[in-house]
Amino acid sequence: MNRRRFLPVLPILTLLAMLGPVVAGLWGTLLPAFGHLPAAGLTGPSLDPFRDLFDWAGLPRAMLLSISTGLLATGISLAIVMLITAGWSGTKPFRALERLLSPLLSVPHAAAAFGLAFLIAPSGWVSRLLSPVVTGWDRPPDLLIVQDTWGLTMTAGLIVKEVPFLLLITLAALGQADAQRSVVISQALGYGRLTGWLKTVFPRVYAQIRPPIYVVLAYSMSVVDVAVILGPNTPPSLSVQIIKWMSDPDLAMRLEGAAGALLQLGLVIGALIFWRLCEHAMARLGQRWIASGARGRFDPVVAQGALAAGAICALTVLFGLVVLTIWSFAGFWGFPDALPDAFTWRNWMRFGPGTLEALGETALIAVTVALAALILTIGCLEAEYRFGLSFSARAVWLLYLPLLIPQTAFLPGLQTFMLSLGADVGRVPVMLAHLVFVLPYVFLSLADPFRAWDTRMGTIAAALRASPNGVLWRVRLPMLLRPILTALAVGLAVSVGQYLPTLLIGGGRVETLTTEAVALASGGDRRAIGVYGLMQTGAALVPFALALLIPALVWRNRKGLRHG
Amino acid sequence: MKHLAILAALLAPVPALADTDPANWDAVTAAADGQTVYWNAWGGSTTTNDFIAWVGERVMADYGVTLEHVKLTDTADAVTRVLSEKQAGENDDGAIDMIWINGANFAAMKEADLLFGPYAEQLPNWAVVDAEGKTVQTDFTVPVEGFESPWAMAQVVFVHDTADMPDRLGSMQALQDWAAANPGRFSYPQPPDFLGTTFLKQVLVDILPDPSVLADPATDENYDAVTAPLWAYLEELTPNLWREGKAYPATGTAMFPLIADGELDLSISFSPGAASTAIANNELPPSIRTFVLDKGTIGNASFVAIPYNSGSKEGAMVVANFLMSPEAQARAQDPEILGYGTVLNMAALSDDDRALFDALELGVATLSPAELGTVQAEPHPSWATRIADDWMTRFGVSE
C-alpha cells in the first residue's frame, strides 16, 4: 500500500467516524428539544419542551446531583492520584499500589458498582462480618446508604473506578515528564518528596493528563449505569431521567427528554468552564506557594493519607469482586451470616451458557472496534507528524466531542438517523457506534505520549538512512509500545462497558455481557449479578494484564524503555 | 390521554397484509420453518429467562423456529422501538417479532395500529384456553380482539416472612396499621414499575367503597375525587416504609433479596407461585408464605403480541401457539420452574394433558386456586397511567 497517499486521508476518516454520528445524533436531539418532531405530527419551533422540563419538580435536585457527583468524583480522584504519585512514585509501596490498581481499571463500572453495593449496603458483607457481635444487629438496619439522596455512594462508586483510570493515565504521562531528575534536584534543595514533586513535576504532568480529566468530569456528570445501581431514584440524576423520558411510549416525552439532554450538555459545558477557571486559580495559588519556598513540613502525613485513600479504593474494588464471587456460588445466605449456608455450582450452571454466548459477542465487537480505533489513531498521529497536519485548537476540541457530550444527548437521535438511512440494526452498526466512543479514548490515551516522543530519535534514525516508515515501525512504535498497548486495552474496556449504544443501535438484538448484566440488575438477583459481573470483569481484565505484561517482557533487557 | 392522541396522529396507512392467514395452520408452520423470532420480553427474572430458553429449544425441535430472547428492562422500550421503525419507514422486517405485553403498552400499540392481527383466536391451542373463566379477551378492560394471545395468569399476592410476621393481613387498612406498628418493614417497587403501579391500584381498589368507577376511563372531572383517598393513604404510609420512602426497590424480584436478608417482612408479587420458586432457588427462606386480601386482589393475564412489521410473523404465531400448549402451560405453572398461573381450561383438556397439571406440587408458599379467592378486575389503563404520573410528582421527587 502506498502510505504516502493513504496516510493524509486517515485524519479526515477518523474525524468522520467520530463526529458524523455525533452531529447526526445531535441534530436528532436538537430539533425535538424545540418541539420539532414531524414523525409525531409535531412541528416547531416551540419552547414547550423546556417549559415541561422546568415544570418537573425533580429538576433542581437532578441537576444538583449531576454537578455534585461530577465535581466531587473528579476532584477527589485527581487529588488522590496526584498525592500518591507525588508522595510515593518510585518507591516500593507505589509499585505495589500500581500493581494493585492497574488491573482494577479493567473492572467495568457496573461490576464495581455492584461490588460496592454488596459491600456497604445495610445487608452488605461489611455489615454481615460485624454483626451481630460488634453491631448487635440481628437484622439489617434501615439505613439509606445505597441510593442515598445526596448521591454520595454513587460518587464513591465513581471515585474507586476513576482513581485507577487517572493513575494509569498519569503513569503513561510520567515517562514523558522527566520526573525522576526534577524530584532529585528539588530534594537536593531540601524539598520534601511530595512537595518537590508537586512544585516541579505536577504542572508538566497535569498539562498532559488534562484531557482525560475533562473526560472523567463529563463522564461522571452523565453516567447512567453507576447511577442506576448506586444513585438515588427520588429523583434520579438528570441523565437517568433523560433515559426514562426517551424510552417512554408517549412520544411527547421524547421532547422533554431532548430538552433535558440539551440541559445536561449545558451543565457539562458549564462544569468544564468552571473547572478551567479553577485551573487558573490553582495555577496562581501554586505559583505563590512555589515562591514561598515552603519545603513541605506535612509531607509524610499527607503522603500517608493519600496512600491510605488509594489502598481503600483498591481494596473496595477487590473485595467487591470477592463478594461478587461469593454470591455467584452462594446457596441460601441469610443475614447476618458471614458466609452462605452452602456453596453451589447451581448458579454457574444456570447462567454460565448465557454468559459465554454474550462473551463471544462482546469480544468480537470489542476487538474489532479497538483495533480499528488504534489503526486510525496511529495513522492520524503519524500523518499529523509527517505532513504537519496539526489540528488547530478548535479541531482538538472536536476530537473530544463524543466524550464531552453526554451519551444521552445524541444516541436516541442517532438511532433514528441510522434507521432512516436504512442501515439495519445489528452488529456492524453497533461496532460503528462503539467506535464513536472508543476512538477518542484510544486517541486520548495515545496522543500525548505519541506527540511527546522525542523527535530527535527520528532525526537520528533518518540520518542512519531509515525511511519515514522505517522510523515509524522500527523506532517510534516500539518505543511507544507501552502507551500503545495501554490505549488498546482502554479501547477494549470502553467497548466492553458500553451499554446505551449497544442497546439502542443494536435494537436489542446485540447482547453483550454489559447489556445482559444491566437487564438483570433491575431484577436484583444477586447470584446472577455475581456471575455476569465476574464474566464482564474477566472480559476486560485480560487486555490490561497484557498491556502491563508485554512491555515488561519485551523490554526486559531495555531498562530505559520500560516506562516509555 | 395525551400520548394516545399523538399515537393516533402517527396513524399512517398500514401496508396490506401479505401475511399467511393464521387460520391456515399448515401454511403457518410451513412458513415458520427456518424463521428466527426475536421475542422482546422483560429480562429481569432469571427463572423467566430460563423458561424462555426452554421454549426456544422446544419450538426449534418441533417447528424449526429459532427463538431469540431480547431481554428488556422495560417493555415500553419495545413499543418505542416499533414506533421508531414506523417513523423510519421500516415496515417489513423490524427488529421485534414478538413482545411480552399487556395493559397500557398493549392499549397504546393497538390504538396506533402497530400490531399484527387478529390472530390469537385462530391458533389451534385457543380451543383449550379458558376464555370464559379467565380475563383473556380483555386486557385492563381494553378488548383484545385477537391482537395478542394469552400465556400466563397473574394475581397480586402479598409475600410475608412468617418468622417475623406470622399473621396475614385482611385489608389495606390493616396493612396501614401494621406498617405503623412495624416501620421500615414494607415497601413496594417504585412506580412506574408495573408492580409498583399495581400496588397503588390495589390500594385504591381495596379502600374505595365502590371500585366499579375504575372500569371506565379516568376523566378530568372524576380523577381527583376518586384518587384522593389513595394519596391520603400514601401520605400516612410513606414515613413507615422501608428507608422512609426515600428509596424504593426497582422491581418486584428486587424485593426478594430484601426479604431474604430480613430488611422487609412484607412485600407484594404479581405471581402467586413466584415465592415458592424463589424458595427453591435459595432466593427466599423456607419460612415465606403468601396471602390475599379479604376482598380479593387484582389479577390479569400476560400476553404476547406480534408487531405489524415483524418479518417472522408465522414463526411468532408458532411460538405463541406453543406457549398456550398444555406442555408449556404445565411447565410454566411448576413452581420449581416458573410458578405462573395457567390460561387453560382444565375441563377442555384430554386426560393425559390434565394429568400434567394434577401432578404438579404447587409449593409451600403457593395458594390453591380456591385460596386465591376473588380476582378483582384491573382498572382501565388510563387510571394506571395517571396514578403513576401523579405518584412520580408527589413521591418520586421527595426533596
**A356 touching B, CB under 8 A?**
no
> B87, A511: Cβ pair inside 8 Å?
no
Residue A38, pLDDT > 50, answer yes
In this structure, the number of other CB atoms found within 10 A of the CB of residue A334 comes to 15
CA distance B86 to A560: 61
Please tell me the predicted confidence (pLDDT) of residue B398: 63
Q: Is A149 left (phi over 0), alpha (psi -120 to 50) or beta?
A: alpha
Q: What is the pLDDT of residues B203-261, one digit of tens each?
A: 999 999 998 899 899 999 999 999 999 999 999 999 999 999 999 998 888 899 899 88
**B7 touching A, CB under 8 A?**
yes
Using 50, 70 and 90 to split pLDDT, how confident is the model at A394?
Answer: low
Chain B from 320 to 359: CB within 8 A of any A CB: none
Using 50, 70 and 90 to split pLDDT, how confident is the model at B141?
Answer: confident
Residue whose C-alpha is closest to residue A491's, from A359, A357, A372: A372
Please tell me the predicted confidence (pLDDT) of residue A399: 73
Residue A19, C-beta contacts closer than 8 angstroms, at least 6 positions apart: A398, A401, A402
Residue pointed to by grid coordinates 428488556: B72
CATH of the domain at A378: 1.10.3720.10
In this structure, is residue A40 part of a structural domain?
Answer: no
Q: What is the pLDDT of residues A205-257, one digit of tens each?
A: 998 888 889 989 999 998 888 888 888 988 899 988 988 887 776 667 878 88
Contact list in A for residue B338 (CB cut-off 8 A) is none
Please tell me the least confidently modeled range out of A418-422, B23-27, B283-287.
A418-422
Q: Pick from A411, A522, A531 the residue to mutate for testing the B interface (most B CBs within 10 Å).
A: A522
Residue whose C-alpha is closest to residue B67's, from B43, B39, B92: B39
Residue A90, pLDDT > 90, answer no
Q: What is the mean pLDDT of chain A?
A: 86
Specify whether the CB–CB gap between A32 and A412 falls below 8 A: no
Q: What is the pLDDT of residues A178-207, one digit of tens each?
A: 888 888 899 899 898 899 999 999 999 998
Distance (Å) from the C-alpha of residue A28 to the closest C-alpha of chain B? 12
Contact list in A for residue B102 (CB cut-off 8 A) is none
In this structure, is residue A47 part of a structural domain?
Answer: no
Within its chain, how far is the Cα of B120 from the centroid? 18
Please tell me the predicted confidence (pLDDT) of residue B27: 93
Q: Smallest Cβ distance to B396: which of A234, A251, A516?
A: A234
Specify whether the CB–CB gap between A450 and A481 falls below 8 A: no
Total domains present in chain A = 1
Q: Is A41 left (phi over 0), alpha (psi -120 to 50) or beta?
A: left
Nearest CA in chain A to B389: A56
Distance (Å) from the C-alpha of residue B350 to the closest C-alpha of chain A? 33
In this structure, is residue A38 part of a structural domain?
Answer: no
What cell numbers appear for A213 in the block?
480529566
Q: What percent of chain A has pLDDT over 90?
A: 34
Give the containing element (helix H, strand E) for B199. helix B194-207
What cell numbers appear for B1 in the block?
390521554
Please tell me the predicted confidence (pLDDT) of residue B60: 95
Specify whether the CB–CB gap between B388 and B361 falls below 8 A: no
Residue A520, C-beta contacts closer than 8 angstroms, at least 6 positions apart: A528, A529, A532, B43, B44, B46, B71
Burial zone of A55 (CB within 10 Å; 0-12 exposed, 13-18 middle, 19+ buried)? exposed
Q: Helix A427-452 vs helix A152-174: angle between axes, to the nearest 10 degrees?
A: 50
Residue B133, pLDDT > 80, answer no
Using 50, 70 and 90 to split pLDDT, how confident is the model at B282?
Answer: confident
pLDDT, average across residues A83-99: 88
**C-alpha dist (Å) from residue B97 to A236, A413, B317:** 32, 23, 10
Residue A366, C-beta contacts closer than 8 angstroms, at least 6 positions apart: A434, A491, A492, A495, A496, A539
Q: Quick check: bond before A93 cis, omega within 30?
A: no
Please tell me the predicted confidence (pLDDT) of residue B12: 39
Higher pLDDT, A252 or A130: A130
Q: Whole domain around residue A277: which residue ranges?
A: 3-29+61-561
Please tell me the predicted confidence (pLDDT) of residue A422: 62
Contact list in B for residue A140 (CB cut-off 8 A) is 261-263
**A55 touching B, CB under 8 A?**
no
> B262, A516: Cβ pair inside 8 Å?
no
pLDDT, average across residues B358-386: 85
In this structure, is residue A192 part of a structural domain?
Answer: yes
Residue A564, pLDDT > 60, answer no
- Amino acid of residue A164: P
In this chain, the answer to whether the domains covering B2-151+302-362 and B155-299+376-394 adopt an identical fold is yes
Residue B11, pLDDT > 70, answer no
Higher pLDDT, B398 or A186: A186
Class of CATH domain B2-151+302-362: alpha beta
Please tell me the predicted confidence (pLDDT) of residue A277: 96
Specify whether the CB–CB gap between A14 and A380 falls below 8 A: yes
- Strand intervals (E) in A360-457: none
CA distance A88 to A85: 5
DSSP B307-323: BTT-S-HHHHHHHHHHH
SS (H, E, C) A239-294: HHHHHHHHCCCCCHHHHHHHHHHHHHHHHHHHHHHHHHHHHHHHHHHHHHHHHHCC
Residue whose C-alpha is closest to residue B370's, from B279, B267, B266, B292: B292
Please tell me the predicted confidence (pLDDT) of residue A519: 74
**A2 touching B, CB under 8 A?**
no
Please tell me the least confidently modeled range out of A381-395, B169-183, B250-264.
A381-395
Specify whether the CB–CB gap between B71 and B49 falls below 8 A: yes
Residue A486, pLDDT > 90, answer no
Please tell me the predicted confidence (pLDDT) of residue A98: 82
Please tell me the predicted confidence (pLDDT) of residue A511: 87
pLDDT, average across residues B255-278: 90
pLDDT, average across residues B189-202: 91
Using 50, 70 and 90 to split pLDDT, how confident is the model at A468?
Answer: confident
Please tell me the predicted confidence (pLDDT) of residue B14: 41
pLDDT, average across residues A31-36: 83
Distance (Å) from the C-alpha of residue B207 to the closest C-alpha of chain A? 26
Distance (Å) from the C-alpha of residue B325 to the closest C-alpha of chain A? 25
- Amino acid of residue A323: V
pTM here is 0.80
Chain B from 234 to 273: CB within 8 A of any A CB: 242-251, 253-258, 260-263
Please tell me the predicted confidence (pLDDT) of residue B5: 45
Q: What percent of chain B has pLDDT over 70?
A: 95
Burial zone of A2 (CB within 10 Å; 0-12 exposed, 13-18 middle, 19+ buried)? exposed
CATH code for the domain defined by B155-299+376-394:
3.40.190.10
Q: What percent of chain A has pLDDT over 70?
A: 93
Q: Smallest Cβ distance to B84: which of A144, A419, A518?
A: A419
CA distance A170 to A375: 23
Residue pointed to by grid coordinates 497517499: A5
Domain ranges of chain B: 2-151+302-362, 155-299+376-394
Pairing of strands B98-101, B297-305: antiparallel
Residue pointed to by grid coordinates 402517527: B10
- Amino acid of residue B103: G
| Alpha-carbon Rg for chain A in angstroms | 24
Q: What is the pLDDT of residues B285-322, one digit of tens each?
A: 999 999 999 999 998 899 999 999 999 999 999 999 99
Pairing of strands B36-42, B266-269: unpaired
**A131 touching B, CB under 8 A?**
no
CA distance A445 to B109: 46
pLDDT, average across residues B58-85: 88
